[in-house]
Amino acid sequence: MANFNTHLNVAFMVSGTLSLTVYKAGLIDDSGFLMCVALGTIGGLLPDLDSDNSTPIKLGFNIISFIFAFGLVMHWRSELSLLALIVLWLIGYGFMRYVVFSVFTTITVHRGVIHSVPYMAILGLGLTCLSYYGLQLPLTTSWFYGSFLFIGALVHLLLDELYSVNLSNMKMKRSSGTAMKFYQHKDKWWYLLLYATVVLLVYAAPPFELFWSRLSNPSAWAQLKVGMLPEMIENMLR
């Protein structure tokens, strides 16, 4: 499979190119552009959350552990002494970083249900719902955020599948078919739960029709066409 740097770089390039496209079309603003690039890049690392020794999972749990410990200290800061707060900080961080991390890595299997298309669809739809209903962001922005996270994850899965082909003698490696999965019979109950969750999120998500009408508006793409090439090249092609 592709390594961490490959996933990071390719996800960044793909999300950056797509973000620039919708930005130049006037579909997102400056902050939306930066968020789409970031979310697409993060999405390119998400499927490896089920790998016990992957860089994304270690980095992610480190960040979560710090945030959890900080939240505990901030909640109890006016009620506990300095020594008690230090102890609470260390216990909170240690609990998340070692206990919860150990449980998570025990119950997950690399390239299991987390490393699948429906799981990534859940994350994308979940972010869309969170952005729209929780953060009160505009509908178009919310759908773009969820879509870029999902697209980045698909780039990761596609890269892993491409790396499962031995191009020197055109043979498939043993890992072929284990990356971009829609279903595995041995995990049928997990996949039933995943697809049920996808259906619920699709039902709860903000209206897709409004997002699609905005995305397919000819005026946006006419604006993109005008500024697609440098003025000098456009003059040469006329």
Tens-digit pLDDT profile for residues 88-124: 889 988 887 777 766 665 545 555 567 778 888 888 8
- Calpha distance 142→79 (Å, rounded): 39
> By the 8 A CB rule, do 44 and 69 touch?
no
Contacts of 191 (CB under 8 A, 6+ apart): 113, 116, 118, 183, 184
Per residue in 16-65, pLDDT tens? 888 888 887 778 888 888 888 888 888 887 776 655 555 556 666 676 67
What is the C-alpha to C-alpha distance for residues 191 and 184, in angstroms, rounded to an integer? 8
Say how far apart CA 207 and CA 104 lie, in whole Å.
34
